[in-house]
């Protein structure tokens, strides 16, 4: 196992499209996508941990850092043991973590952050619309209530946005998050492919 996982962070406000882009990227050989929110949502909601997650997320709050980091470590370990994620071959695409500066510090020893993709969207109304649509489609309680959505934006501005200052400016790529998923994905690929080329051997095409 390498000392630190080589990673690209997907960064942006709720509804900016991190999950959509991450899921598409994760389908391409040589990338492994992990969304912290998905890991939480896969918990058994009747377990202690699941109940804790629900109590925070339903209010639009972050889950406490220690719990989050521990969960993330256990999940990464499991993915590696199962060979779903191969650190020597796959560029890790992390979405939803770190979500505050404390988490960024805690992950410093485990992550070699090669790029931060900042999905920028200044139109909060458009993001809220995306989230309401997602709430209906994916049964997400945290996206169903306008008060909770607004609080999630506040938490993003107060706690998550400052994470950008934690990383060096040279590795931050600002990407316009408005447009269709395909249009945004084209912009994301322009940033991500050179990083993969520089750090990994080209993955073999399946069936080639
Ligand atoms: P979105 O993609 O809309 O920003 P996520 O699916 O990433 O939302 O996260 C949903 C909820 O899970 C968050 O509101 C929060 O309660 C919890 N969560 C996810 N990632 C973290 C994290 N790194 N630290 C603390 N809480 C988190």
Mean pLDDT of the chain: 92
| pLDDT tens-digit map of 161-201 | 999 999 999 999 999 999 999 999 999 999 999 999 999 97
To which H or E segment does residue 33 belong? strand 31-35
Residue 161 placed within a domain? yes
Residue 208 placed within a domain? no
Residue 207 placed within a domain? no
User: Ligand 1 in contact with 56 (CB < 6 A)?
Assistant: yes
CATH number for the domain that contains residue 58: 3.40.50.300
Cα radius of gyration rounded to whole Å, the chain: 17
To which H or E segment does residue 97 belong? none
Residue 206 placed within a domain? no
Structural domain harbouring 194:
5-201
Say whether the peptide bond before residue 98 is cis (omega within 30 degrees of 0). yes
To which H or E segment does residue 84 belong? none
Both structure tokens of 132: 């309401």
Confidence of residue 206 (pLDDT cuts 50, 70, 90): low
Cα of 100 to ligand 1 centre, how many Å?
A: 11
Bridge partners (DSSP) of residue 95 are: 10, 35
- Indicate if the alpha-carbon torsion angle 111, 48, 83, 38 is positive or negative: negative
pTM, full prediction = 0.90
User: Ligand 1 in contact with 192 (CB < 6 A)?
Assistant: no
Residue 35 placed within a domain? yes
Cα of 37 to ligand 1 centre, how many Å?
A: 5
Q: Which of 110, 126, 131, 106 is nearest to 19 (CA)?
A: 131
Residue 119 placed within a domain? yes
How many domains does the structure of the chain reveal? 1
| pLDDT tens-digit map of 64-89 | 999 999 999 999 999 999 999 999 99
Cα of 208 to ligand 1 centre, how many Å?
A: 39
- Relative to the CA of 18, which ligand 1 atom is closest? 2
Residue 117 placed within a domain? yes
DSSP string, 95-138: ES---SHHHHHHHTTTEEEEEEEEEE---HHHHHHHHHHHHHHH
Both structure tokens of 175: 């990407």
CA angle 55/57/58 to nearest 5° reads: 70
Between CA 161 and CA 13 the distance in angstroms is 8
User: Ligand 1 in contact with 127 (CB < 6 A)?
Assistant: no
- Relative to the CA of 155, which ligand 1 atom is closest? 14
What does the DSSP 8-state code read for residue 64?
A: P
Between CA 17 and CA 151 the distance in angstroms is 18
Check: CB of residue 113 under 8 Å from CB of residue 169.
no
Residue 148 placed within a domain? yes
């Amino acid at each position: 196992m390498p000392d630190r996982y080589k990673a690209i962070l997907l960064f942006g406000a709720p509804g900016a499209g991190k999950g959509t882009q991450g899921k598409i990227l994760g389908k391409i050989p040589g990338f492994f996508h992990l969304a912290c929110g998905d890991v939480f949502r896969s918990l058994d909601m009747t377990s202690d941990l699941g109940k804790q997650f629900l109590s925070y997320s339903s209010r639009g709050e972050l889950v406490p850092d220690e719990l989050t980091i521990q969960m993330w470590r256990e999940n990464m370990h499991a993915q590696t043991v199962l060979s779903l994620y191969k650190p020597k071959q796959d560029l890790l695409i992390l979405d939803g973590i770190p979500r505050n500066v404390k988490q960024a510090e805690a992950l410093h020893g485990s992550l070699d952050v090669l790029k931060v993709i900042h999905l920028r969207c200044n139109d909060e109304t458009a993001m809220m619309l995306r989230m309401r649509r997602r709430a209906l489609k994916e049964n997400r309680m945290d996206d169903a209530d306008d008060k909770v959505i607004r609080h999630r934006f506040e938490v993003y501005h107060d706690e998550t946005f400052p994470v950008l200052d934690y990383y060096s400016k040279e590795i931050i790529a600002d990407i316009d998050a408005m447009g269709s998923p395909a249009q945004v994905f084209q912009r994301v690929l322009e940033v991500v492919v050179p990083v993969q080329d520089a750090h990994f051997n080209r993955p073999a095409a399946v069936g080639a």
